[in-house]
Amino acid sequence: MNSVSPNHPRPAAKNGRTRVVVTGMGTVNPLGKNVEEYWHGLIEGRSGASPIERFPSDRLATKFACQVNTFDPQDYLERKAAQRMARFSQMAVAASKMALADSGLDLTKEDSFRVGVAMGTGIGAFDDMTQGAASFLSKGRLNPMYAPTIIPNMAGASVAMQFHLRGPNTTVTTACAASTQTLGDASRMIQHGDADVMLAGGTEASLCEVGIASFNAIRALSTRNDAPEKASRPFDRDRDGFVPGEGAGTLILESLEHAQKRGARIYGEVLGYATTNDAFHQVAPDETGEAPARAVTLAIKDAGLEPGDVDYVNAHGTSTQLNDAGETKALKIALGEHARKVAISSTKSMIGHLLGAAGAVEAIATLLTINRGIIHPTINYENNDPECDLDYVPNQARRQNVRIAISNGFGFGGHNAVVVLGKYEE
């Protein structure tokens, strides 16, 4: 295992900026209703894909998804409050409630103006949006709460209202890079003194007939209807598209000083962050890999580290032909020869693609890897692809000490975001 380069100490030692740590985590996703269920599913290599149950799929080319069929918003919210929220907002509140409980943070002792929210979503309330439009076209009327329910910022606003958080509140909608960016943006808000605590995360609940049809129209989804559990196969030669998913994840970020003062348990540290753009195409990534590579390079530099210090990469790994080949190329550019030594795995092989929520939910997996010394596998990896020739931890979890990890998030529109996470050390 590589250690931190002696010539590139941690940021606090190098430039004195505020250190940002993670003290709580919560998630609801296709593998579980909490962090522990999620972790066990990842280590077991269990697929969350199954035939669609909530709406008709007979007109769809893709008839399966990674669904959260056991989610009941009233487990986390009062009935009236839940009825005023779209599903993506309900999930954001659920994940945030779990994260706050996990952190042990007593909000009654906090200045509410010093606790903020940064929430990412790619699409938001797609289901409610299409249902409302259909209702208006057929009946000529809309629910009065239609507009405030579907707007993307309402997930973060709902979290703030539920917990009376009056600090910074921002919503990022950079497609599938969104909640990786919220982690970086929230960290910088703490470093700039705008908040002591930030709830940073992402949420997505766009599984509906129109949502899936829209991704089918651009041929982005797998159509492996005969074997949904085998459909998400990042970096495998026979990958044929991503598997749509839903869920939410929230991480509690604090300044180190604030966390230490209250004796918080610390999962890890946000060491670095960077974002770039391909400026190339609405949907397709730039095949050169130059822009995502630059994001990786800048994030590692922001952390005060060298490429050789990276032990693990939680890849964006969508299971599409272009993304997986492009990400492999980007890692080779950014990490050089070390790319062939570092362990890489894709959480999406099991939970599908949670779009705007992917980065936060995958960052939780990355922090658990750092804490528990086990790297989850990339499942369904059966056939080598000459364009994807790195170590993707195929099919079986691996015990390995991980001190420094990066988590990638790349989105439609060419958005690239990378966060560097590390084991907390005094």
pLDDT tens column, 186-200: 999 999 999 999 999
Q: Which residues, including other chains, have CB under 8 Å from residue 36's CB and lie 6 or more apart?
A: none
Ranges of each domain in the chain: 20-261, 272-422
Looking at residue 258, its pLDDT comes to 98
CATH of the structural domain 20-261, one choice from 2.40.50.140, 3.40.50.150, 3.40.50.300, 3.40.47.10: 3.40.47.10
Looking at residue 4, its pLDDT comes to 40
Overall average pLDDT of the 128-140 stretch: 89
Looking at residue 165, its pLDDT comes to 98
Judged against a pLDDT cut of 80, whether residue 7 lies above it is answered with no
If we measure between CA atoms, which residue out of 242, 238, 162, 165 comes closest to residue 197? 165
Residue 264, Ramachandran bin (φ over 0: left; ψ between -120 and 50: alpha; else beta): beta
Looking at residue 284, its pLDDT comes to 85
Overall average pLDDT of the 31-39 stretch: 97
Give the model confidence (pLDDT) of 87-128 as tens digits. Answer: 999 999 999 999 999 999 999 999 999 999 999 999 989 889
Give the model confidence (pLDDT) of 273-307 as tens digits. Answer: 999 998 999 888 888 899 999 999 999 999 999 99
Looking at residue 15, its pLDDT comes to 54
Looking at residue 13, its pLDDT comes to 38
Instruction: Report d(CA 292, CA 227) in Å as an integer.
Output: 32
Looking at residue 210, its pLDDT comes to 95
pLDDT confidence of 143, banded at 50, 70, 90? Answer: confident
Instruction: Report d(CA 414, CA 380) in Å as an integer.
Output: 27
Residues marked active site are found at: 176, 316, 353
Give the model confidence (pLDDT) of 338-352 as tens digits. Answer: 999 999 999 999 999
Please name the amino acid found at residue 320.
Answer: T
- Please work out, in degrees rounded to the nearest 5, the angle formed at the alpha carbon of residue 202 by the alpha carbons of 356 and 414: 30
Give the model confidence (pLDDT) of 232-246 as tens digits. Answer: 999 999 999 999 999
Looking at residue 3, its pLDDT comes to 38
Q: Which residues, including other chains, have CB under 8 Å from residue 161's CB and lie 6 or more apart?
A: none
Q: What are the structure tokens assigned to 253, written together?
A: 């970020």
Overall average pLDDT of the 373-388 stretch: 98
Q: What are the structure tokens assigned to 347, written together?
A: 């959480």
If we measure between CA atoms, which residue out of 355, 394, 152 comes closest to residue 249? 355
Lowest mean pLDDT among 98-107, 145-154, 247-256: 145-154
Question: Could you give the C-alpha distances from 215 to 162, 220, 322, 417, in angstroms and in order?
Answer: 33, 6, 15, 22
If we measure between CA atoms, which residue out of 370, 265, 362, 361 comes closest to residue 23? 265
Question: 351 near 245, Cβ under 8 Å?
Answer: yes
Please name the amino acid found at residue 253.
Answer: L
pLDDT confidence of 426, banded at 50, 70, 90? Answer: confident
Instruction: Report d(CA 41, CA 409) in Å as an integer.
Output: 22
Please name the amino acid found at residue 348.
Answer: K
Higher-pLDDT residue of 11 and 326 is 326
Overall average pLDDT of the 25-46 stretch: 98
Q: What is the pTM of this model?
A: 0.94
Region 272-422: CATH code = 3.40.47.10
Looking at residue 6, its pLDDT comes to 39
Judged against a pLDDT cut of 60, whether residue 225 lies above it is answered with yes
Overall average pLDDT of the 373-396 stretch: 98
Instruction: Report d(CA 396, CA 385) in Å as an integer.
Output: 19
What mean pLDDT value characterizes the chain? 94
Lowest mean pLDDT among 63-67, 147-151, 246-250, 317-321: 147-151
Instruction: Report d(CA 196, CA 190) in Å as an integer.
Output: 6
If we measure between CA atoms, which residue out of 286, 297, 281 comes closest to residue 326? 286
Q: Tell me, yes or no, if the two domains 20-261 and 272-422 fold the same way.
A: yes
Beta-bridge partner residues of 32? 29
